A and B are shown apart, each in its own frame.
Chain A
Amino acid sequence: MDLAAIFAVEILYALASLVVISSGLAVVFGMMRVINLAHGEFMMVGGYATIVAVKSGINIYIAMLIVAPIVVGVLGVIVERLIIRRLYGRLVDTMLATWGLSLLLIGLASMIFGNTTTGISPPIPGFAIGRYQVNGYSFFIILAAVAILVAMFAVLAGTRAGLVARGAMQNPAMASALGYNPERVYMLTFFAGSALAGLAGGLFAPLLGLVPTIGSAYIAKAFITVISGGASVIAGLVSSAVLFGATSQIFTLATTPMVGEIALLLIAVVLLRLLPQGITSRFFRGAM
């Protein structure tokens, strides 16, 4: 029974971590039709920002939740101004440019940090459920995932900025006719997406052995989750995170991590074959 509880926590944690990893990519893809292949490296930068901040005496929560998103958000704005802005509407070119960016960031990080950076430990101790220990920090990740989804929903549905953002994405001409500058909207959206990537990096920093190449462990998963979700940012993210997270984790628990990964990939193939525009093209249509 206790073991079942532990397994349930792990499955929930798997869903939550997919949401955390993919949210930044989902915002940028859903709103701007831009696929940021440097997303994993943005997370990596967020991780290093957190570690450096903690090492210099900043409280770990401030480092994870504020410093990392801001650092990566600013990085995102710079990238948007210098690169992405020139490539709007050219999906493939943006993918290639951001892939180049990911290599560049890996190179920079290895030159700056080298390969041995002492990480930080999670600020929440593990605790026991019956006879079993569980990672207290898992609950923090689950909470963070819920908070991210709620915040995304609140911003998109409840604020003027969110409304303008959605409007500008669907019809840039109309947004500018209403007096909003679509360029600024894109820039802010990319900032938000990057900040979410930074937040994800910060949140996972205490769980990882951080090395400059860590981003590649995440990008494929995030990419598949977002694309399979389809056009609706939040509904797509949640539905595919639930599907993939639960599948891969159940297979991992029942067999091995390799089978879990292969199950995830196979499901993605079948899913995209059946729903070629992603989950939200068939279900939850019109949702956000």
Chain B
Amino acid sequence: MRGEMRHALLVAIVSAIVLAVAPALIGTYTLTLLVIYGILALSLGLIWGFGGILCFGQAAFFGLGAYTYAIAAINIGESTVPFLLGIAIPFLFAAALGAMMFYGRLSDVYLGVITLVVTLLFFRFMNSTAGPEYVIGTARLGGFNGIPGFQTLNVPGDPSGYIFGDAYYYLTAVALLIVYLLVRWLLASPFGRIAMAIRENELRVELLGYDARARKTLLFSIGGAIAGLAGTLYASWAEIVTPGMFSLGQSAEIIIWCIVGGLGTLVGPVIGAMILAYLKFALGQQSVIDNTLVLGAILILCVLLMPRGVVPTLGTELRRSFQRPQTGGTRRRPGASPAERAHV
């Protein structure tokens, strides 16, 4: 366990260096979004890759975090409380939704459908709030056009001390590193072990006297809170929130990040998110070929050629090329146990 945390710290330090150097190559404004998407991908990577919960509606928590922040910021002004609400509300909502699903013993694809439908519900509802009757406090929900013009993140206690530009990038980068380390710590704790055990064999864990439903609900809620954090950061970055955040496309994109990056790892989804989001950004600067077509082709090829994702595939290749034959024999299957998974 201690070894895992040491490893996680090493990953965090390397990432910190990469994140600190990155602005030399890509504008911090774009980088900020990549980092926010990284946090969002991490939230699904945690509950799907380690908890075995396939959520088709991670976008619901992302959007909910962003809307909560925007609405609270309009009503309150100073950003500290809205920021905390932007994490707390998705956490509570995920807890309620998770309890409903897990205590109902919903499984695999049906769980996927419920989360998808809930996301669609948000999408539909938010899209239909253009009328003046949809107001929370002084905040108009705005329908399809969303909510612009709210107070963006400020230095706590100083409403005019906006955090923006490079400073905002470093703030999100630090947030990503903290979330990563916290999640690593969580996974190394007994709670994390048991969560992974539930994914492996829910019945066995129940027969040992653990309440799998409560634990899955809690894990799901933590995933919701992290997605909410990503949404909150996004709101401050974009300075507008729109129902598109709840869309099917947004949900699917998060799943794709995880698949392309590599499920069962934490770094994988983050890297997947950053690569694909940057690709989308880069594709928008050319008009030779339709961008939708390119993204579709990439997705198909990834599923067919690298079903485990970029990071685990690269990891295996690297390990193979560095491994000496005499140490290879007695090791256990790569990527199989929690201890092994912790390396990526």
Are B105 and A91 within 8 A (Cβ)? Answer: no
Residue A81, interface by CB 8 Å = no
**In the complex, residue of chain B having the shortest beta-carbon distance to the beta carbon of A97:** B303
**In terms of DSSP, what is the predominant structure of the interface of chain B?**
helix
Question: A96-B255, A227-B109 known; A106 and B292 CB under 8 Å?
Answer: yes
Task: Determine the distance from Cα of A97 to Cα of B298 in the docked complex, in whole angstroms.
Answer: 10
Residues of A with C-beta under 8 A to B128: 258
Residues of B with C-beta under 8 A to A276: 104-107, 110
Question: A106-B296, A111-B290, A269-B118 known; A100 and B108 CB under 8 Å?
Answer: no
Q: How far is the CB of B125 from chain A (nearest CB, A)?
A: 7
Residues of A with C-beta under 8 A to B297: 100, 104
Task: Determine the distance from Cα of A273 to Cα of B98 in the docked complex, in whole angstroms.
Answer: 11
Question: A96-B255, A104-B293, A111-B293 known; A265 and B109 CB under 8 Å?
Answer: no
Residues of A with C-beta under 8 A to B302: 100
Residue B295, interface by CB 8 Å = yes
Task: Determine the distance from Cα of A266 to Cα of B128 in the docked complex, in whole angstroms.
Answer: 16
Are A277 and B303 within 8 A (Cβ)? Answer: no
Residue A220, interface by CB 8 Å = yes
Are A262 and B121 within 8 A (Cβ)? Answer: yes
Task: Determine the distance from Cα of A104 to Cα of B304 in the docked complex, in whole angstroms.
Answer: 15
Question: A261-B124, A265-B124 known; A100 and B303 CB under 8 Å?
Answer: yes
Residue B117, interface by CB 8 Å = yes
Question: A103-B295, A106-B296, A262-B125 known; A96 and B303 CB under 8 Å?
Answer: yes
Residues of A with C-beta under 8 A to B299: 96-97, 99-100, 103
Residues of A with C-beta under 8 A to B256: 96, 99
Contact of A97 (CB < 8 Å), options: B108, B118, B292, B304: B304
Within 8 A of B (CB), among A50-91: 83, 86-87, 90-91
Contact of B303 (CB < 8 Å), options: A93, A223, A227, A265: A93
Q: Would you give the 0/1 interface string for A250-280, flagging 1 where the beta carbon is closer than 8 Å to chain B?
A: 0000000010011001101100111011100
Are B303 and A87 within 8 A (Cβ)? Answer: yes
Task: Determine the distance from Cα of A269 to Cα of B289 in the docked complex, in whole angstroms.
Answer: 40
Most chain A CB neighbours (cut-off 10 Å) among B117, B120, B304:
B117
Contact of B113 (CB < 8 Å), options: A87, A108, A224: A224
Residue B148, interface by CB 8 Å = no
Contact of B110 (CB < 8 Å), options: A93, A101, A277: A277
Within 8 A of A (CB), among B302-323: 302-304, 307
Give the size range of A's interface with the partner: 35 or more
Residues of B with C-beta under 8 A to A227: 109-110, 113
Residues of B with C-beta under 8 A to A105: 296
Within 8 A of A (CB), among B98-148: 100-101, 104-110, 113-114, 116-118, 120-121, 124-125, 128
Are B300 and A107 within 8 A (Cβ)? Answer: no
Are A272 and B293 within 8 A (Cβ)? Answer: no
Are B252 and A99 within 8 A (Cβ)? Answer: yes
Task: Determine the distance from Cα of A269 to Cα of B104 in the docked complex, in whole angstroms.
Answer: 12
Task: Determine the distance from Cα of A186 to Cα of B302 in the docked complex, in whole angstroms.
Answer: 23
Q: How far is the CB of A93 from chain B (nearest CB, A)?
A: 5
Contact of B300 (CB < 8 Å), options: A100, A110, A223: A100
Task: Determine the distance from Cα of A197 to Cα of B210 in the docked complex, in whole angstroms.
Answer: 46
Question: A97-B303, A262-B124 known; A107 and B114 CB under 8 Å?
Answer: no
Are A265 and B117 within 8 A (Cβ)? Answer: yes
Can you report 26 residue pairs joining A to B where beta carbons are below 8 Å apart?
A83-B300, A91-B108, A92-B54, A96-B256, A96-B259, A100-B295, A100-B297, A100-B300, A100-B302, A100-B303, A101-B300, A103-B292, A103-B293, A103-B295, A105-B296, A106-B293, A106-B296, A107-B291, A108-B293, A110-B292, A111-B290, A227-B109, A227-B113, A262-B124, A265-B121, A268-B114
Chain A contact residues, CB within 8 Å of chain B: 35, 83, 86-87, 90-93, 96-97, 99-108, 110-111, 216, 220, 223-224, 227-228, 258, 261-262, 265-266, 268-269, 272-274, 276-278
Question: A92-B259, A103-B293 provided; 19 other pairs, C-beta below 8 A?
Answer: A83-B304, A91-B109, A93-B307, A96-B255, A96-B303, A99-B299, A100-B297, A100-B303, A103-B299, A104-B300, A216-B248, A227-B110, A262-B125, A265-B121, A266-B121, A273-B104, A276-B106, A277-B110, A278-B110
Closest 7 CB pairs of A and B: A107-B293, A103-B296, A100-B299, A104-B296, A100-B300, A107-B292, A107-B290
